[in-house]
Structure 1
Amino acid sequence: MAKALCLVASLLLVGSVFTHAEFSPSLIVDMAKIVLDNYCSPEKLNGLKQAIEAASSNTEILNIPDAETLANVLSSGFQTTISDPRLKVSYEPNYVAAVAPELPPLPPEQLVAILQSSIKLDVLEGNVGYLRIDHILGEKVAEKVGPLLLELVWNKILPTSALIFDLRYTGSGDVSGLPFIVSYFTEAEPVVHIDSVYDRLSGATTELFTSSALLGERYGTTKPLIVLTSKNTNGIAEDVAYCLQSMKRATVVGEKTAGGSMKLNKIKVTDTDFYITLPTAKSTNPITGSSWELTGVTPDVAAEVEDALATAVAILNLRAKVPAIVEGSAALIADNYAFEAVGADVAAKLRGMLAAGEYGTVSSKTGLETKLSSDLSTLSGDKSLKTTISAPVQPPMTYSPEMFVELVKLSFQTDVFENNVGYLRFDMFGDFEEVKAIAQVIVDLVWSKVVDTDALIVDLRNNLGGPTTAISGFCTYFFDADKQILLDKLYDRPSGTTKELWTLSDLTGPRFGSTKSLLILTSGATAGAAEEFVYIMKKLGRAMIVGETTAGSSHPPQTFQVGETGVFLSIPTVHSDTAAGPAWEGVGVTPHIPVSAEAALNTAKGILNKHLGGPK
């Protein structure tokens, strides 16, 4: 009722400007009756009757001397009250109702001329069909011109590999043409419920289905279909676009459509020259449960009207390359993924998704990469198997001795707690050659502060990994020099070789040794090379792990280009020895003492304090 009062307010505001009554008090009531009896959504009319009665009983409203001004005021009031800009009041003394002309019998040459003027078609580069229709033909007309449509239009479109259906300029049409058009892009069976049309005048709801019998062949359900739209796409053309979009049969490219009506009626107000134009029928899509009316059809890919065709061509060019990209990705994974059985399974499922059309709706290279990356991670359970970018190789950095010192200070944190418990934190593993070059600096500035403690906490809760080339050297510090120890075996899938990791015989600086207590802190963020270190130390019984299960990522993946495309894959190619059971890749390393990452340090300190005799 509050919204309905907007009508009264708008009428009173304008009515107060005039002083001479011109119109019958029944005029507004008669208009309201037309709206109440014919508007397509009666549930939106609550309160309208009371507002009209209040407005018509106020003589100031009818003091407006100009009929067109009154019509505009009433239009604004109705539109505001019902929230529907399609409802309009007009004053038209010379109005003559238009009658849709019947298509008379015409000689073939005239029918050809009519069709050629209203339908435009072309076959673009890459065997892409282009079809523009500016009026949706009704079923009866289509039946009359059907053979010519097949000969002049459809039979030229059928052999194309993809179709651009241009509705940017289509503002009129017959609802009976909706199932006629949509059916050509579906299978014959089963028929599909595509629309429900409620007609207020009859009170009946008509359900529209695709047709199982058509003149000529269908375009089918697998070839790419793009529908172009603009803000001028209106009425039945919007319904066509919305149906094909809702069925996921077409990608809509362009501008948001007009948000028009399934059916508009213009009704004369009693014996006056006032008319009310209003929607008397409404569409409800059975898939979405909603409608394109008022709101318009939102495109899948937005583009300015003049750019829509070029955008559609670019999308189709990309889709033509998609099968090769997906197939190339499957082959690379099958041949290179660290775990052969998993790689073969992922490749097979990826090919199945391609065959099922799951990659048929990608609209951009970014969208393709995002979907492919998500699918690879989901199918493999490996977050490291994904699409990536090809980063250019950077030249090695040249550091001065002073820069090395600052770099080490920023990269490591150390402390010594009560009971002579050392603490060492670093958040990334470095490449062996780079670390080797500054090993003495690390020993002097970092290692020397904790190596002589009675126990050590190594904090890897924020360590994201890095190269695994320094793993052997770092592990060696926690074993004795009297013998070499086999740390792990790493299988490299592309080469089919296995590399053994052993402790080193030569080290820079002193060892921590194998007898003093070592606790390692972990979290769900601990990844890659850090997990390999935790896995080795736990497997060999050299450390107690405190915190959360690690990320379950992988050894550093390699980057592969998919054919000659600009798509690149990040593929883990190496896995730890699984002869004695599953490694850490994909599952993570489970701690001995499971606690939250936040509580891990205090838990570790408590364990060591108790072991070493309590705090001093």
Structure 2
Amino acid sequence: MAKPLFLVASLLVLGNVSFIHAGFPPSLIVDMVKIVLDNYCSPEKLAGLKEAIAAAGSNTAILNIPDGESLSRVLSAGLQTTINDPRLKLSYEPAFVPVVAPQMPALPPEQLVAMLQNAIKLDILEGNIGYMRIDHILGEAAADKVGPMLVDLVWNKVLPTSALIFDLRYTSSGDVTGLSYIVSYFTAAESVIHIDSVYDRPSNTTTKLMSMPTLLGERYGTTKPLIILTSKNTKGIAEDVAYCLKNLKRASIVGEKTAGGSVKIDQFRVGDTDFYVTLPTAKSINPITGSSWEQTGVTPDVKVNAEDALATAIKILELRAQVPAIIEGSAALIADNYAFEKTAADTAAKLKGLLENGEYSMVVSKSGLEEKLTADLKTLSGDKNLKTTANTPVPPPVNYTPEMFIELIKVSFQTDVFENNIGYLRFDMFGDFEEVKAIAQIIVEHVWNKVVNTDAMIVDLRNNLGGPTTAIAGFCSYFFDADKQIVLDKLTDRQSGTSTELQTLPELTGTRYGSKKSLIILTSGATAGAAEEFVFIMKRLGRAMIVGETTFGGSHPPKTFQVGDSDIFLSIPTVHSDNSMAPSWEKSGIAPHIPVAAAAALETAKGIFNKHLAGQK
């Protein structure tokens, strides 16, 4: 009752104004409200209105306001606020002239042709893109009269185009019976579909608007791109056209949010007075969304100023013309290069299937294409590392001085020795073997020698995001003995079709930690790539206990591939670890021996070692 009370209050305030002569009949407010109650399109919003008006209407002093325009403004504001609908209006029109719906004039053929050519703007743009602008949507009766001419003069020129831009930026009028005609030209003839429902309040009936099984001329079809241009002036049935085709996923909307008008507005005279109530008497209910474009407007898929909408639409269509080659090129790259051969073939085939099913037909931007392609690749392959990527150039190498290397190493590594002579080593990225080899002695002196003589060690990889895997064999070798060469992993390279054994190195810089002293590795959901390869090896060989969270499920360093001549690039893992002896870490990650939250992993590891080492004393 809060909103109805607003109207009561506004009327009672007027009632406090003292006038000598009543200017308007006492029945004015009652008659006005009866019109609203009997004809407003959403009766569920009228709860409490009748009672509120009855209370206000008993105060006839409000009718002493001297001029009709002032009273109509106040009553309009009260109604709009009470019902929360700005389309409701009371007007005072002593010189009222009924609005007559325009009728198709009976013109000779040559004049009718000239009228249609002026009413409909048609052009064929570069790239065989059709452009059609209609400023008034014809209803069924008018379409029956001029339909054959429209087909000959306009539609047959549109049909051969590869894509169509339908300009509704200036369309503010139309007949709801034209909705089925327009939508049907862009849907299939084989199955009649429910396009819209229109509820008419005065008759309390709902009419289902369906697509038409037969039409004059050919259909544009369901696959050729369709873009509708809109503006804040797009109103009424034009909004319904845009809303229906958008929710049928048949058209992309480019431009401004539409006006938020109504499917039908009627005007009623209030009794024998010069007051008239204008209100929506029917409403559109979309069968897909269950809601409507009325009042709220149609939100475009791509928001741009109306004057920029055409240029934006052309760019979108140019992108869509490239999409088939981009998807097919992506599928070919994955089939030929992705590390897991069977998954590669399946993913490539399914990706092409998505293209054939029109899953990429609604792309409106390069970023949107990349986002969808990445999501599809991850879903189809089950691999979060197969995705689109930016073509970031490799930065030039930096010539570090020995002093700079020392400072860099101090920042990159963290070491400590805890109670019971427990060593702690943390680093957050693996380096390339050749780069590490060149500074190995510096790392040994400033990092490794601080922890090598401990009785047990914690290697913290909770924040290690990976990097090159070329240094993995060398790092693993420090935790095994020199007298026996051990096969750490077997790597299969899909591009070359070769397999390589990863083995411990017989010679290392500095002292080995050896195979006897206990080792715990800390992991988190962020532990990825090369760090996972290290964890995978050490867990599979039983050399370390893993404490923390399941790792990210990354991959060996992926390679970047350009898709054809486009500016789309794919990041494709091309190498995978041997999964014949243990489940692979790629895609799924590595489960710890002792699962705990990453934040608690260090204290858990220290507790394990303290208990173990204290028991040895």
Task: Flag whether TM exceeds 0.5 (same fold).
Answer: yes
**TM-score using structure 2 length:** 0.97
Matched, 1:252 2:250: no
Tell me how far 1:69 sits from its aligned partner.
1.2
Q: Deviations over 1:469-511 (max 9, x none)?
A: 1111111111222233222221111111222222223222111
Equivalence for 1:127: 128
TM normalised by structure 1 equals 0.97
The separation in 2 between residues aligned to 1:350 and 1:7, in whole angstroms, is: 59
Matched residues in 1 for 2:524 and 2:434: separation?
A: 28
SS at 2:284 equivalent: strand
1:77-226 matches, cutoff 5 A = 77-226=78-227
Deviations 1:531-575 (A, max 9, x none): 111111222222222222222210010111111111111100111
Q: Which runs of 5+ in 1 are unaligned?
A: none
CA distance in 2, matches of 1:102, 1:488: 82
Q: What letter is aligned with 2:55?
A: A
- Once residues 288 and 124 of structure 1 are traced to their aligned partners in structure 2, the CA distance between those partners, rounded to angstroms, is 34
Corresponding residue SS for 1:583: coil
Matched, 1:359 2:360: yes
Contact 1:187 1:220 in 2 (8 A): yes
Alpha-carbon shift at residue 332 of structure 1 (Å): 0.6
Q: CA deviation at 1:358?
A: 0.4
Whichever residue aligns with residue 318 of structure 2, its letter is N
Residue aligning to 1:348: 349
Per-residue CA deviation, residues 422-447 of structure 1 (Å, 9 max, x unaligned), is: 11111111112222232222111211
What is the alpha-carbon distance in structure 2 between the residues aligned to residue 70 and residue 544 of structure 1?
84
Give the fraction of aligned pairs with identical amino acids, expressed as a percent: 74
Partner amino acid, structure 2, of 1:285:
N
Mapped to 2, the partners of 1:32 and 1:427 lie a distance apart of 73
Number of residue-to-residue matches in the alignment: 616
Q: Equivalent residue for 2:6? A: 6
For structure 2, the residue ranges without an aligned partner over 5 or more in a row are: none
Q: CA deviation at 1:275?
A: 0.8
Query: For residue 473 of structure 1, what is the aligned residue in structure 2?
Result: 474
Correspondence 1:322 to 2:323: yes
Does residue 530 of the first structure (1) align with residue 560 of the second (2)?
no
The one-letter amino acid paired with 2:497 is G
> What residue number does 2:77 align with?
76
Q: Does the residue aligned with 2:552 lie in a helix, a strand or coil?
A: coil
Query: In 2, distance between residues paired with 1:238 and 1:199?
Result: 18
- 1:374 is aligned with what amino acid? A
CA contact (8 A) 2:186 2:220 kept: yes
C-alpha distance in structure 2 between counterparts of 1:222 and 1:154, whole Å: 17
CA separation of 1:239/1:615 partners in 2, compared to 1, >3 Å: closer, same or farther?
Answer: farther
SS at match of 2:44: helix
CA gap 1:403/1:13 in 2 versus in 1, 3 angstroms: farther
Contact 1:134 1:170 in 2 (8 A): yes
Kindly indicate whether the alpha-carbon contact (under 8 Å) linking 2:15 and 2:59 is maintained by their aligned counterparts in 1. Answer: no
8 Å CA contact 1:418–1:615 kept in 2: the answer is no
Change over 3 Å in CA distance of 1:58–1:483 after alignment to 2:
same
Give the equivalent residue in structure 2 for 1:19. 19
Counterparts of 2:416 and 2:347, CA distance in 1: 46
**Relative to structure 1, is the Cα distance of residues 69 and 15 closer, same or farther in structure 2, using a 3 angstrom cutoff?**
farther
Distance 1:549 1:236 in 2: 55
Distance 1:229 1:484 in 2: 71
Residues 17 and 62 in structure 2, CA contact (< 8 A), matched pair in contact too = no
C-alpha distance in 2, partners of 1:599/1:85? 59
Q: Secondary structure at the match of 2:311?
A: helix
CA RMSD of aligned residues (A): 1.6
Amino acid at match of 2:479: F
- Aligned partners of 2:46, 2:105: CA distance in 1, in Å? 42
- Indicate the residue corresponding to 1:414 in structure 2: 415
The offset of 1:101, in angstroms, is: 4.2
Distance of 1:609 and 1:87 partners within structure 2: 78
Q: Separation in 2 of the partners of 1:270 and 1:594?
A: 79
1:605 aligns with 2:606: yes
Counterpart-to-counterpart distance in 2, 1:542 and 1:581: 15
Contact 1:18–1:65 (Cα < 8 Å) also in 2: no
Which structure 2 residues correspond to residues 293-312 of structure 1 after superposition, within 5 A? 293-312=294-313
Give, in whole Å, the separation in 2 of the partners of 1:74 and 1:437. 86
Alpha-carbon distance between aligned partners in 1 of 2:205 and 2:123, rounded to the nearest angstrom? 41
> Structure 2 counterpart of 1:83, which letter?
N
